[in-house]
Amino acid sequence: MSKRVKVNIKRQDSPDSGSYWQTFELPVEDGMNVTTILLRIAATPTTTDGEKVAPVAYDACCLEEVCGACSMRINGKVRQACSALVENLLKEQPEITLEPMTKFPNVRDLVVDRRRIFESLKRVKAWAPIDGYTPRGEPDRMSPSDQEDAYPLSRCMSCGCCMEACPQFNDKDDFIGPHAVSQAILFNTLPAGKPLESERLDALAEAGGIAACGNAQNCVKVCPKDIPLTVSIAKAGRATTIHSIKRFLAR
């Protein structure tokens, strides 16, 4: 119980101000995760220099790795704060470093504006079109093999880890990101999503769509939900090519 941990946090007061580092030290608790660290710091926000500072701003919600809210760079690698256990982090390096995700505009401290995640999902129409006045009836049944393909993709929680780790997702490119490609493939597999299949493939064939992928395959390595993102990407590559040729020949 006497073991203590040093935590270096990259802070930023407002979207336009510069960033700076502060170090905090606190006792390690059993089963402690990064969210607990931030909670303890918020209770007594005093740095190792003895300076009393504003509590560190951070996002957290479900605390069980299903909501995707608490993504941040922990020891230089993007992951969920709630499932990052201090015990494991200290095996990586003697002190813990926390930074906000770099690919999204900073709001304050560890909080970022993740609107681009949602904009990407809107671009590929990642939903089942069920609005309207007339009853649509039951969608077609899915084969067990389709269910097995679709279920892992449905675990996506839009946490942004795949985008943060992607070398092609940045300010210089308008890549929609691996999650949106995967969600487009998911909704194209679901019978209820089929009516928009062609529109999703059109969106994937736009600039910043599937063609922007550089096959670094970091996405699948950092995905906290073990979603086979690179399988979705390859499927999208095949589907958009066939779709585009069909489109061209139908003109």
Partner 1 sequence: MSSQTATTAISPREKYYFLARRLHSLTGLMFSGFVCFHLLINATVLTGGESFQFCVEKIHILEHMGILVPVEMATIFFPIAFHALFGIVILLTSQSNMKDYPYGGNIRYTLQRLSAVVILVFLTMHIWHMHWLGKPFGGAQFDPANATSTAAAAMQSWSLWAPIYAIGVAATVFHLANGIWTALITWGVTIGPRSQRVAGYCCVALGAVLFVAGLGAVRGFMTYSVADGNETAAVEQVEESGH
CA angle at 199 for the pair 197 and 203, rounded to the nearest 5°: 115
The answer to whether residues 35 and 63 touch, using CB atoms and an 8 Å cutoff, is: yes
Among 100, 152, 177, 208, interactor with partner 1 by CB under 8 A = 208
Q: Decide whether 32 or 181 has the Cβ nearer to partner 1.
A: 181
DSSP 27: E
Asked if residue 222 binds partner 1 (CB under 8 A), the reply is yes
Shortest distance in whole angstroms from residue 7 CB to partner 1? 19
Contact letters for partner 1, residues 43-82 (x by CB under 8 A)? ---------------------------------xx-----
What tokens appear for 132 in the block?
């309207």
Q: Name residue 3's amino acid.
A: K
Q: Which of residues 96-125 bind partner 1 (CB under 8 A)?
A: 119, 122-123
Shortest distance in whole angstroms from residue 194 CB to partner 1? 19
In which region does residue 148 sit, left (phi positive, over 0), alpha (psi from -120 to 50) or beta (all else)? alpha
Asked if residue 150 binds partner 1 (CB under 8 A), the reply is no
Contact letters for partner 1, residues 166-205 (x by CB under 8 A)? -xx-x-xxx----------------------------x-x
The region of 18-26, 32-40, 46-54, 215-223 touching partner 1 under the rule CB under 8 A is 215-223
CA angle at 66 for the pair 58 and 36, rounded to the nearest 5°: 40
Q: Which three-class secondary structure state does DSSP give residue 197? A: helix
The answer to whether residues 157 and 66 touch, using CB atoms and an 8 Å cutoff, is: yes
Q: Give the separation between CA 119 and CA 114, rounded to whole angstroms.
A: 9
> Which residues contact partner 1 (rule: CB under 8 A)?
76-77, 119, 122-123, 165, 167-168, 170, 172-174, 203, 205-209, 211-218, 221-222, 228, 230-231, 233-241, 244
